[in-house]
Structure 1
Amino acid sequence: MKLLAITSCPNGIAHTYMAAEKLAKAAEKLGHEIKVETQGSIGVENELTAEEIQAADGIIITADKVVDKRRFQGKKVLEAPVADGINKPEELIEQFESGDVPVYGDQAPTETQSIDQVKQERKQKQNPLYRNLMNGVSYMIPFVVVGGLLIALSLAIGGEPTEKGLVIPEDSLWKSILDVGAASFTFMVPILAGFIAMSIADRPGLAPGMIGGYIAANGSFYGSEAGAGFIGGIIAGFLAGYIAKGIKQIKVPAIIQPIMPILVIPLISSVIVAVIFIFILGQPIAALMEGLSAWLQSMQGASKILLALILGAMIAFDMGGPFNKVAFLFGAAMIGEGHTYIMGAIAVAICTPPLGLGLATLVNKKKYAKEEQEAGKAALAMGLVGITEGAIPLAARDPFRVIPSIMIGSMVGAVVAMLTNVTDNVPHGGPIVAVFQAVGNVPMFFVAILIGMVVTAFTVNILKKPVEE
Structure 2
Amino acid sequence: MSRKNLQIKKHVMTGISYMIPIVVAGGILGALAKGFGGYNIGDAVQPGVTPWSNLDPFSWTGFWWGVNQIGSYAMTFAVAVMAAGTAYSIAGRPGIAPAFILGYVANDTKAGFIGGLILAFAVGYFVNFMKKWKVPKWMNGLMPVLIIPVITTFVVGMLFTVFLSQPLAFIMIKFQNWIISLNGGSKAIIGAVIGACMGFDLGGPVNKTASLAANALGADGIFAPWAAKLIGGMTPPIGAFIAVMIAKKKFSREQVETAKTALPMGLCFITEGVLPFAAADPIRFIISSVLGSSAAGAIALGLGCESPAAHGGVFVVPMMTHPLYFLLALLVGSAVTGIVYAVLKRPETATDEENEELDDESIDFDISVE
Instruction: Please say whether Structure 1 and Structure 2 have the same fold, judged by a TM-score greater than 0.5.
Output: yes
Aligned match of 1:347 in 219, 223, 234?
A: 234
Q: Which residue of 2 aligns with 1:446?
A: 327
For 1:107-136, what per-residue CA distance to the aligned partner results, in whole angstroms no more than 9, with x for missing partners? xxxxxxxxxxxxxx536x4372x5544443
| 1:201 Cα deviation from its structure 2 partner | 1.7
Greater relative contact order (Cα < 8 A, sep 6+): 2
Return the offset for 1:277. 4.1
Aligned partner of 2:151 among 265, 268, 271: 268
- 2:194·2:210 contact (CA, 8 Å) conserved in 1? no
- Contact kept, 8 Å, 1:205 with 1:266, in 2: the verdict is yes
Residue 195 (structure 1) shift: 2.6
Specify the alignment match of 1:168 in structure 2: 44
Q: Which residue of 1 aligns with 2:71?
A: 181
Percent identity over paired residues: 29
1:126 aligns with 2:9: no
8 Å CA contact 1:351–1:388 kept in 2: the answer is: no
Q: 1:250 Cα shift?
A: 2.1
Displacement of 1:456 after TM fit? Answer: 8.9
Count, aligned residues: 279
Q: Is the CA contact 1:194–1:205 (under 8 Å) kept in the aligned structure 2? A: yes
Residue 29 of structure 2 is matched in structure 1 by: 150
Cα 1:181–1:292, aligned 2, differ >3 Å: closer, same or farther? farther
Partner of 1:159: 38
AA aligned to 1:305 is A
Match of 1:416 among 299, 315, 331: 299
State which of 191, 198, 208 in structure 2 corresponds to 1:334.
Answer: 208
Q: In the TM superposition, what are the counterparts of 1:364-443 in structure 2 within 5 Å?
A: 382=260, 385=264, 412-413=295-296, 415-417=298-300, 420=305, 425=311, 434=314, 437=315, 441=320, 443=324
Query: Which one of 190, 213, 237 corresponds to residue 80 of structure 2?
Result: 190
CA distance in 2, matches of 1:237, 1:405: 27
| Higher Rg of the two aligned structures | 1
Distance 1:241 1:457, change over 3 A: closer
User: Residues of 1 paired with 2:339 and 2:158: CA distance?
Assistant: 56
1:199 equivalent to 2:86? Answer no
**Matching residue within 112, 130, 139 for 1:247:** 130
Aligned partners of 1:256 and 1:276: how far apart in 2? 26
Task: Rate the CA distance shift 1:294–1:185 in 2: closer, same or farther, 3 A.
Answer: farther
Deviation at 1:299, TM superposition (A): 4.3
Deviations 1:283-341 (A, max 9, x none): 333334434444444444425425646876xxxxxxxxxxxxx6434499639965674
> Quick one: structure 1 residues 154 and 336, their matched pair in 2 at CA, closer, same or farther if it must change by over 3 Å?
farther
Q: Which residue of structure 2 aligns with residue 19 of structure 1? A: none
How much does 1:140 deviate?
3.1
Q: Counterpart of 2:18?
A: 139
Partner of 1:96: none
Alignment partner, residue 286 of structure 1: 169
Q: Give the partner amino acid of 1:351.
A: I
Shift of 1:254: 4.8
Three-state SS of the structure 2 residue aligned to 1:126 is: helix
CA distance change for structure 1 residues 328 and 138 in 2, over 3 Å: closer, same or farther?
farther
Deviation at 1:159, TM superposition (A): 3.4
| Change in CA separation of 1:207 and 1:450 when aligned onto 2, cut-off 3 Å | closer
SS in structure 2 opposite 1:233? Answer: helix
Query: Aligned equivalents of 2:10 and 2:334: distance in 1?
Result: 32
Structure 2: which amino acid aligns with 1:200? I
Structure with greater strand percent: 1
CA distance in 1, matches of 2:339, 2:31: 35
Query: Structure 1: 5+ residue runs without aligned partners?
Result: 1-79, 81-120, 219-226, 313-325, 361-370, 373-377, 392-403, 427-432, 460-469
Unaligned ranges ≥5, structure 2: 47-54, 56-60, 215-225, 251-255, 267-272, 278-286, 341-370
Shift of 1:204: 0.8
TM-score by structure 1 length? Answer: 0.45
- Contact 1:308 1:414 survives alignment (8 Å): yes
Structure 1 counterpart of 2:358: none
Deviations 1:7-36 (A, max 9, x none): xxxxxxxxxxxxxxxxxxxxxxxxxxxxxx
Q: CA RMSD in A?
A: 5.0
Describe the SS at the equivalent of 2:6.
coil
Distance 1:204 1:336, change over 3 A: farther
